[in-house]
Amino acid sequence: MAHRVSSLYVHVPFCIGKCGYCAFYSEPASDELVDRFLDALARELALVAPDLAPKSVYVGGGTPTVLGFHRLERLFRELGRVITPCAADELTVECNPATVTSAKARLLRSLGVTRASLGVQSLDDELLIRLGRPHSRRQAFDAYDALRGAGFDNVNIDLMFAIPGQTMEMWRRTLAEVKAMRPEHLSCYEITYEEDTPLFELMGAAESDANHELACAMYEELLDAAAAAGYIQYEVSNFALDAARSWGSAGAAAPAFATAAVLATPGVAERIPAYACKHNVNYWRGGEFFGLGPSAAGFVQGIHTANIADTRRYCALLEQGLRPIAFAELLPPLKRAAEVAAFGLRMVVGWSFEEFKSVTGYDLQKNGAKKLQNLSSAAGA
């Protein structure tokens, strides 16, 4: 490759149990399988290392923090052998509140993790049970305190709304409590009924217009509450503090924003809050990324890939020296441009004609003028 990819996702496919709404690939952990996975991940890293120079690393799952101390250390040791993750601008780890202790939070911080994403989803015990979450309201607060106590000054909290049985009052109460916690970042998603999940079987056929109306009202409530608390919405479901509004540790400097080439266009970085997730912004702005681990997706040199969603087969292929890729597609230029446009329009900054052309090579003013004019006329009608 003529250049090196600046973004890396690592999928740790182990969880305490399967939540009722979750369609991501995961399975229960066993010591033998986790060790075999870590061996395989080291092999996969070695295969792509020459093409990697990551500015952002995102370790997700699954539940990475379900790993015990020495296996977490090994995971980051393997990452460090080939990419020196501590040198990354942003190294995020997803955390389940049930698996975060003060000692584990300190370990993550010592391993170079700069950003923790805490999967709270709700602060109502009844709703947590309904979702199949393995943690309680109390554990969510304790995990957050543990991360702060370990020195994390960049914490995201994940929330869901329109959960079956959730009322507007429940949602307002959760938003007020999260505001009091003062994380640097919020990711808030309307719950979706994914096929082949218990929640889909239970509730998928019962959706109604009233559910959709309540979901819309909850989203409007979110927008108002986030703005009132000083958060800047930079994507449909994501909100972050800017440097001037930092609620991190006293005296802590706000992190510099991403320096990836995809964000190098003058004015783009300045329009995105300092605590925005650099890794996800790279996705939305059409950047390249490697995805490692079972089921992980990647996009490099115009090719979409997806790894095999089977931990044992993933390991077996890498033990033979083979990449565990189940799917690969080279997108034609126009289809790729349409994809980049769609993802980029999730962000508040949208696309300028110049930015879009620099990322995709597609000149909308030249090639799409008539369609844009028709859309503009329809919007104004």
Most confident of 19-33, 135-149, 343-357: 135-149
Q: Choose which CATH entry (3.90.1150.10, 3.40.50.880, 3.30.230.80, 3.80.30.20) describes domain 5-284.
A: 3.80.30.20
DSSP three-state, residue 189: strand
Percentage of the chain beyond pLDDT 90 is 63
**Predicted local distance difference test score (pLDDT) of residue 366:** 76
> Number of helices and strands (H, E) in the chain?
14, 14
- State the DSSP code for 85: G
Q: Assign 200 a pLDDT band (cuts: 50, 70, 90).
A: low
Mean per-residue pLDDT of the chain = 85
Span 68-78, pLDDT tens digits? 999 999 999 99
**Taking residues 115-143, what's their average pLDDT?**
94
Most confident of 7-21, 168-182, 356-370: 168-182
**Taking residues 323-337, what's their average pLDDT?**
92
Query: Could you give the C-alpha distances from 253 to 58, 89, 154, 242, 243, in angstroms and in order?
Result: 21, 13, 11, 11, 8
How many C-beta neighbours within 10 Å does residue 291 have? 24
Q: Which of 114, 98, 207, 97 is nearest to 152 (CA)?
A: 114
Residue corresponding to tokens 């080279």: 330
**Taking residues 319-332, what's their average pLDDT?**
95
Span 309-319, pLDDT tens digits? 999 999 999 99
∠ CA 266-267-270 to the nearest 5 degrees?
A: 130
205 compared with 139, residue with greater pLDDT? 139
Q: How far apart are CA 368 and CA 301, in angstroms?
A: 25
- State the DSSP code for 250: T
Span 8-42, pLDDT tens digits? 999 999 988 655 555 556 778 899 999 999 999 99
> Over 60: is that where the pLDDT of 207 sits?
no
Span 278-310, pLDDT tens digits? 999 999 999 999 999 999 999 999 999 999 999
Domain chopping of the chain, boundaries: 5-284, 353-381
> Over 60: is that where the pLDDT of 270 sits?
no
DSSP three-state, residue 73: helix
Q: In what order do the strands lie in the sheet with 155-161?
A: 232-235, 238-240, 185-190, 155-161, 115-121, 90-95, 52-61, 5-12, 290-292
Span 365-376, pLDDT tens digits? 777 666 666 656
**Predicted local distance difference test score (pLDDT) of residue 255:** 35
